[in-house]
């Protein structure tokens, strides 16, 4: 009981220091003056900016420290799953809704990873966003974004999970469109919102099914009562959640918003696409995977969807020239591997990849931001080169991140990716997804080292007006901290957090491994030869640079189809047809004809009065006979 109380207090302290960090970014100084008065501090008003930064960074460091303590005590002392109930906010008709936190393995690990990565991103933002007139609002939005993500991963009630879900979606709209004077930023933020609204519809269907058939929104109640549901209801519940997850995690078909989100500032890209928003859909499936038994059909859909998404993003990244777009497509590819792992039933391994991916992907984004900042906002790889002599720390970290992303042994990415592919080889029910996952892993090596070659090994090809240096302490500390996580976190998690998930393939699978590797190598060679061949080079390059002609198909066929339906069926048949004839136009014609008839009766001629009297008597006689 003492350990439970201690962990609960630590978690509440985490939320307290996060809220303190959020409110410390105040432009009217009211909150900051209150804090100084409470602690009896006196600081000259000329140091307000310094105090804001120092207070917020200190709070984030306390946040990370408490997360590490909570992580250590939970794993070291084997604490059970803890449910902290604060208030029953809704009850009636047999329904009970509670505001409560669930502290389990996933929550504690995500608190550690999310807070640690966010601290580095916030520190990097002090270097990257220097001079922005709305810097305090920017940092506040980043911290509120983290707060909503922690609510999402720690809540036991679906209602509060949905609050965190909607919070990260709304804040992504604000952060992606931060530079609102740019048309691309505004359209990208709107695109992200539209795609995520489709996922929100799936989440609302999931809400409705749980409320209608289970009369509860608690994950614990769903775990107990879900076994009594009909299989059709279970399928409806799971596929509604899958729609929500693939929209939020940018799977194939819902993927365009993630590369477009690169129009936002680089710290936003690092936070959204490393450990927070884009993994929210994957985390929701992991949560439900420990509550509901996924049927084979659902697992097969996840396998194929994850493999196709990973292969698509990896192949498109081969021909991209924007350094941030390449890292964004690599994020989509790794998210596909996570969905692929969920299809294999390896929920813990998928979460393991979330943890390792957060470190090296955030580091790659921050290094990209350092390069872009040093080259006067230049993002084209073809205009870079020779940067190792000017940015040695950034160059070394990019090389380290590329190695980890490629799955080079004994780095963080190796431990999780190797487990996913190794478990995939044990699956013989769906070889298509396994083959696509292996092929995308080979493509990952190609586009990762393409960044290294163009940025650092090619001759210098840019005329930079500003001096390039790495003297800013926030830049160096944030990148080096993530580099240490890239080196050691995978080894630490594999040996101390997931020691029972080491898979050793039997000798009977050696032939399958050899066949899969040979097939993947020959497929990669065929793609390479198709690029060399002059006749097929243009089509192959156009196909990949055009993102598999997805946008051409979408805009020329899907959009035109819905435009035809809306114009010819919606407007002409409904708005200007039935609705207008039955509604205002029809009512006007009806009253006009009625008034014309009354004018005809009351015209002043006696013959019309006699005729109307006979008609009234005739209809009364018919009415009496019928009654």
- Asked if residue 81 is part of any domain, the answer here is no
- Whether residue 536 sits in one domain with residue 451: yes
Q: For residue 114, is pLDDT > 50?
A: yes
Q: How far apart are CA 284 and CA 209, in angstroms?
A: 16
Q: For residue 40, is pLDDT > 50?
A: no
Q: How far apart are CA 1 and CA 593, in angstroms?
A: 82
Averaged confidence pLDDT in the chain? 76
pLDDT of residue 41: 46
- Whether residue 608 sits in one domain with residue 505: no
- Asked if residue 63 is part of any domain, the answer here is no
- Whether residue 615 sits in one domain with residue 481: no
- Whether residue 457 sits in one domain with residue 600: no
Please enumerate in sequence order all residues whose Cβ is within 8 A of that of 478, keeping only pairs 6 or more positions apart, or say none: 120, 121, 123, 124, 127, 366
| Nearest residue to 354 (alpha-carbon basis) of 376, 370, 375, 339 | 339
Render pLDDT for 168-196 as a digit per residue (tens, 0 to 9): 888 888 888 888 778 888 888 888 888 88
Render pLDDT for 334-363 as a digit per residue (tens, 0 to 9): 999 999 999 888 888 899 899 999 999 999
Report the domain count for the chain. 2
- Whether residue 538 sits in one domain with residue 612: no
Buried b (16+ CB within 10 A) or exposed e, 266-279: bbbbbbbbbbbbbb
pLDDT of residue 475: 83
Please enumerate in sequence order all residues whose Cβ is within 8 A of that of 35, keeping only pairs 6 or more positions apart, or say none: 20, 24, 41, 55
29-38, Cβ contacts within 8 angstroms, sequence gap of 24 or more: none
Average pLDDT score over residue span 7-32 = 61
Average pLDDT score over residue span 123-136 = 79
In order, the DSSP letters of 72-141 are HHHHHTT---EEEEEEEEEEETTEEEEEEEEESHHHHHHHHHHHHHHHHHHHHHHHHTTT-TTHHHHHHH
Please enumerate in sequence order all residues whose Cβ is within 8 A of that of 147, keeping only pairs 6 or more positions apart, or say none: 15, 18, 19, 22, 167
pTM of the model: 0.81
Cross-strand partners of 99? 87
Render pLDDT for 395-424 as a digit per residue (tens, 0 to 9): 889 989 988 888 888 888 888 888 888 888
Where a domain ends, among 488, 522, 548? 548
Render pLDDT for 517-543 as a digit per residue (tens, 0 to 9): 555 555 555 555 555 454 455 556 667
- Whether residue 480 sits in one domain with residue 345: yes
- Whether residue 627 sits in one domain with residue 507: no
- Whether residue 625 sits in one domain with residue 503: no
Where a domain ends, among 479, 514, 548? 548
- Whether residue 621 sits in one domain with residue 503: no
Question: What whole-number percentage of the chain has pLDDT above 70?
Answer: 70
Render pLDDT for 232-244 as a digit per residue (tens, 0 to 9): 888 888 888 899 9
- Asked if residue 88 is part of any domain, the answer here is no
Render pLDDT for 76-113 as a digit per residue (tens, 0 to 9): 776 667 777 766 666 554 555 667 778 888 888 888 88
Q: How far apart are CA 341 and CA 434, in angstroms?
A: 10
- Asked if residue 605 is part of any domain, the answer here is yes
Which residue shows structure tokens 């009253």? 591
Q: How far apart are CA 48 and CA 64, in angstroms?
A: 24
Please enumerate in sequence order all residues whose Cβ is within 8 A of that of 328, keeping only pairs 6 or more positions apart, or say none: 258, 259, 261, 262, 269, 273
- Asked if residue 163 is part of any domain, the answer here is no
- Asked if residue 564 is part of any domain, the answer here is no
Average pLDDT score over residue span 594-604 = 64
- Whether residue 616 sits in one domain with residue 472: no
Q: How far apart are CA 344 and CA 336, in angstroms?
A: 12
- Whether residue 607 sits in one domain with residue 525: no
Q: How far apart are CA 490 and CA 600, in angstroms?
A: 92
Residue 464 token pair:
């930079």
Q: Do residues 7 and 82 make contact, with C-beta atoms less than 8 angstroms apart?
A: yes
| Nearest residue to 249 (alpha-carbon basis) of 332, 328, 174 | 332
- Asked if residue 399 is part of any domain, the answer here is yes
- Asked if residue 230 is part of any domain, the answer here is no
Residue 624: which domain range? 596-627
- Whether residue 476 sits in one domain with residue 619: no
Where a domain ends, among 548, 574, 604? 548
The torsion region of residue 568 among left (phi > 0), alpha (psi -120 to 50) and beta comes to: alpha
The torsion region of residue 112 among left (phi > 0), alpha (psi -120 to 50) and beta comes to: alpha
User: Out of 48-62, 170-184, 340-354, 487-501, which region has the weakest mean confidence (pLDDT)?
Assistant: 48-62
């Amino acid at each position: 009981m003492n350990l439970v109380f201690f962990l609960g207090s630590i978690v509440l302290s985490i939320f307290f220091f996060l809220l303190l960090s959020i409110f410390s970014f105040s432009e009217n100084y009211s909150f900051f003056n209150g804090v100084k008065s409470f602690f009896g501090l006196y600081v000259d008003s000329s140091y307000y900016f310094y105090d804001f930064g120092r207070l917020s960074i200190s709070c984030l460091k306390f946040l990370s420290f408490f997360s590490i303590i909570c992580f250590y005590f939970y794993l070291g002392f084997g604490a059970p799953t803890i449910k902290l109930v604060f208030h029953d906010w809704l009850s009636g008709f047999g329904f009970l809704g509670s505001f409560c936190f669930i502290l389990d393995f996933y929550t504690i690990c995500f608190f550690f990873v999310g807070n640690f990565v966010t601290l580095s991103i916030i520190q990097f933002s002090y270097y990257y966003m220097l001079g922005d007139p709305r810097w305090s609002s920017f940092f506040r939005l980043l911290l509120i974004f983290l707060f909503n993500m922690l609510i999402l991963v720690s809540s036991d009630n679906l209602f509060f999970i949905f609050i965190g879900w909607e919070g990260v979606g709304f804040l992504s709209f604000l952060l992606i469109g931060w530079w609102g004077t740019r048309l691309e930023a505004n359209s990208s933020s709107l695109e992200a919102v539209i795609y995520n609204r489709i996922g929100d519809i799936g989440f609302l269907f999931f809400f409705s099914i749980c409320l209608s058939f289970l009369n509860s929104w608690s994950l614990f109640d769903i775990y107990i009562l879900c076994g009594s549901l009909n299989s059709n209801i279970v399928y409806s519940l799971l596929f509604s959640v899958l729609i929500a997850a693939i929209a939020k995690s940018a799977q194939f078909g819902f993927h365009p918003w993630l590369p477009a989100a690169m129009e936002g500032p680089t710290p936003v890209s690092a936070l959204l696409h490393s450990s927070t928003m884009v993994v929210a859909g994957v985390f929701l499936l992991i949560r439900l995977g420990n509550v509901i038994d996924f049927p084979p059909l659902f697992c097969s859909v996840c396998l194929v969807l994850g493999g196709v998404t990973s292969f698509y993003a990896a192949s498109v990244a081969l021909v991209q020239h924007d350094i941030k777009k390449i890292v964004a497509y690599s994020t989509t590819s790794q998210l596909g591997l996570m969905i692929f792992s969920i299809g294999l039933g390896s929920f813990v391994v998928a979460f393991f990849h979330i943890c390792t991916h957060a470190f090296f992907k955030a580091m790659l984004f921050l290094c990209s931001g350092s390069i872009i900042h040093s080259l006067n906002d230049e993002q084209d790889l073809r205009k870079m080169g020779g940067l190792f002599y000017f940015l040695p720390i950034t160059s070394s970290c990019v090389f380290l991140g590329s190695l980890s992303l490629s799955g080079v042994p004994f780095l963080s990415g190796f431990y999780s990716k190797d487990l996913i592919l190794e478990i995939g080889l044990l699956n013989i029910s769906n070889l298509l997804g396994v083959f696509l996952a292996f092929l995308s892993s080979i493509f990952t090596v190609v586009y990762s080292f393409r960044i290294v070659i163009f940025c650092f090994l090619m001759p210098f090809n840019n005329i930079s007006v500003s001096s390039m240096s790495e003297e800013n302490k926030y830049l160096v500390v944030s990148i080096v901290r993530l580099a240490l996580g890239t080196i050691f976190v995978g080894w630490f998690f594999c040996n101390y957090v997931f020691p029972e998930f080491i898979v050793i393939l039997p000798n009977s699978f050696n032939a399958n491994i050899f066949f899969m590797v040979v097939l993947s190598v020959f497929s990669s060679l065929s793609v390479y030869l198709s690029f060399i061949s002059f006749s097929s080079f243009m089509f192959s390059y156009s196909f990949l640079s055009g993102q598999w002609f997805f946008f051409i198909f979408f805009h020329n066929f899907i959009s035109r189809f819905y435009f035809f339906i809306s114009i010819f069926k919606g407007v002409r048949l409904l708005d200007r047809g039935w609705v207008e004839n039955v509604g205002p136009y029809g009512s006007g014609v009806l009253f006009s004809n009625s008034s014309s008839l009354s004018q005809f009766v009351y015209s002043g001629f006696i013959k019309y009065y006699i005729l109307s009297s006979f008609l009234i008597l005739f209809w009364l006689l018919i009415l009496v006979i019928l009654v």
